[in-house]
Amino acid sequence: MSAAWRVSVDPHRCIGSGICAGMAPEHFQLVDDLSTPLADQVAPADLVVEAAESCPVEAILVRDATDQRLIAPGS
């Protein structure tokens, strides 16, 4: 596993439910009613995966920073 993950939110998919910001406020915030990651790159953390998995429209992508392998959401 990489020492870092890349986190992104697709602003065209995000519906601003706020689940991610509620679950992982140290990683996500709502800006203009859309989720925004607080950092593009983060240390691996279960909360980041849980937030991505909880997004009702799968707008959050978590990828390995080294090889871009998709970590979340899972299929």
pLDDT in tens, 22-75: 999 999 999 999 999 999 999 999 999 999 999 999 999 999 999 999 999 985
- Is 54 inside any structural domain? yes
pLDDT of residue 48: 97
CA–CA separation, 48 vs 50, rounded Å? 5
Question: Which residue from 23, 9, 15, 28 is spatially nearest to 57, judged by alpha carbons?
Answer: 15
Asked if residue 6 has pLDDT above 70, the reply is yes
Check which CATH number belongs to the domain holding 10 and give it.
3.30.70.20
Q: Which two tokens stand for residue 46?
A: 């279960």
Enter the pTM of the model.
0.91
- Is 75 inside any structural domain? no
Q: Are 29 and 66 in contact (CB under 8 A)?
A: no
pLDDT of residue 75: 58
- Is 27 inside any structural domain? yes
Q: Which domain holds residue 63?
A: 5-67
CA–CA separation, 30 vs 22, rounded Å? 10
Q: Are 70 and 39 in contact (CB under 8 A)?
A: no
pLDDT of residue 52: 97
- Is 58 inside any structural domain? yes
Q: How many domains does the chain have?
A: 1
- Is 73 inside any structural domain? no
2 or 32, which is more confident? Answer: 32
